[in-house]
Amino acid sequence: MADLKTSPLHERHVALGAKMADFGGWDMPIEYPGGGVVAEHTAVRERVGIFDVSHLGKASVTGPGAVDFVNACLTNDLRKIGPGKAQYTMCCAESGGVVDDLIQYVRAEDDVFLIPNAANTTEVVRLLAEAAPEGIDVENLHDAYGIIAVQGPQADEVVRALGLPTEHDYMGFAVADWDGRPVIVCRTGYTGERGYELVPRWEDSVALWDALTEAMAAYDGLPCGLGARDTLRTEMGYPLHGQDLSLDITPVQARAGWAVGWKKPEFWGREALAAEKAAGPARQSWGLLVTGRGIPRQHCTVTVDGRPVGEVTSGTFSPTLRQGIALALLEPSVGLGDDVVIDVRGREVAATVVKPPFVQVQTRQA
């Protein structure tokens, strides 16, 4: 563990007895005592939970024309949003493969804030910095900010208890003052529930975590680890980079074409992605709902009549549905409603092809 980076909340997790593990080069909490992943997952679906996701990257692109520069690099169309709004996007290679998926926040025409994945931040910053024209500054702010996600039906009440704003729309954000400290309040998340991602300064993260812990106690809220974050996002069909998106898995294959500005004249990987879209992908992501007994995992082979037709990219036990679920890349011959078999450690497990999400979406509710 000596070489792993630690979040500003590391000592809080250790004090709570969290099970820690390497995640993207960071020593992060996977689950806490007192129920573990299932209890934490249920808290978010039914009440509220808080997550330390400070391992996620932070970067800024500033200077005249910053919005247009980022728009010419990343997939989604920044011209569809304005200041105070956020957008999911991808950084692609010229091959069309995904270097990273991230959220981009427009603070002003000359100021774009980015939250990439932990392990990919350095590469995203490097690529943008190399491409940046004179006058555009790309800065890695990975250790300048913490991030605490507040997710669940009671997320608004917990955030409001700290005097922070909750009135902005989904994928909107506001810069607020909390006890004399600046906090970016983002109406975003990775769970499918209504929620927020709070971005304090690194040195203010512990105080904010403690205040949130106190506020959520009234709602029987729980601190949640990355184990519950994974089961929650899989139930929604949200991709995880390195599994459901990668340099070998394009946005077209992952059904993430909605986050590609196809009408834009340029972005990295545009030519390859347009060609793949026109030809039709050789494989595409689907959900698999296990009808037998078994929990699918990444790399499990999917077959039809004994013939391999694809592979699981993410698989888990769904605490909400009480059964196995998975995301899988399948060949075009397999479609919605088809019955398939997943090879789980040599055992055949029956499943049906479905279109995620596996559970009802709450994210955009007012």
Alpha-carbon span 298 to 49, nearest angstrom: 26
Q: Is the pLDDT of residue 333 over 60?
A: yes
Alpha-carbon span 110 to 70, nearest angstrom: 10
State mean pLDDT over 62-77.
98
233 pLDDT tier (thresholds 50, 70, 90): very high
> Could you check whether the bond before residue 153 is cis, i.e. omega within 30 degrees of 0?
no
Alpha-carbon span 142 to 196, nearest angstrom: 19
Structure tokens at 250: 């394009």
Burial (CB count <10 Å: 0-12, 13-18, 19+), residue 172: middle
Q: Is the pLDDT of residue 76 over 80?
A: yes
What pLDDT, on the 0 to 100 scale, is given for residue 1?
Answer: 45
pLDDT in tens, 124-155: 999 999 999 999 999 999 999 999 999 999 99
For 55-140+250-280, the fitting CATH number among 3.30.70.1400, 1.10.3720.10, 3.40.50.1220, 3.30.460.10 is 3.30.70.1400
What pLDDT, on the 0 to 100 scale, is given for residue 365?
Answer: 58
Q: What is the mean pLDDT of the chain?
A: 97
**Per CATH, the architecture of 5-54+145-236 is what?**
2-Layer Sandwich (3.30)
Alpha-carbon span 292 to 19, nearest angstrom: 30
Alpha-carbon span 74 to 76, nearest angstrom: 6
Token pair 């494989």: residue:
283
- DSSP codes of every residue in 241-257: BTTTBBTTB-TTTTT-G
Q: How many alpha carbons lie under 13 Å from residue 48 in its C-beta half-sphere?
A: 24
- Strand arrangement of the beta sheet that strand 111-115 belongs to: 85-92, 98-108, 111-115, 59-62, 137-140
363 pLDDT tier (thresholds 50, 70, 90): low
Neighbours of 223 (CB within 10 A): 25
CB 86 within 8 A of CB 115: no
What share of the chain has pLDDT > 70, as a percent? 98
Alpha-carbon span 262 to 133, nearest angstrom: 24
CATH number for region 282-366: 2.40.30.110
pLDDT in tens, 205-228: 999 999 999 999 999 999 999 999
pTM surpassing 0.85? yes
Q: Is the pLDDT of residue 54 over 80?
A: yes
Amino acid code (one letter) for 29:
P
Structure tokens at 201: 């300064």
Q: Which 8-state DSSP code applies to residue 79?
A: G
Amino acid code (one letter) for 130:
E
What pLDDT, on the 0 to 100 scale, is given for residue 2?
Answer: 56
Q: Is 68 helix (H, G, I), strand (E, B) or coil?
A: helix
Max CA pair span of the chain: 64
Residue ranges of domains in the chain: 5-54+145-236, 55-140+250-280, 282-366
Q: Is 120 helix (H, G, I), strand (E, B) or coil?
A: helix
State mean pLDDT over 95-111.
98
Tell me the backbone φ, ψ of residue 83, rounded to 5 degrees: -55, 140
Alpha-carbon span 345 to 335, nearest angstrom: 24
CB 146 within 8 A of CB 115: no
361 pLDDT tier (thresholds 50, 70, 90): confident
Give, for 92, the enclosing helix (H) or strand (E).
strand 85-92
Beta strand pairing call for 111-115 and 173-178: unpaired
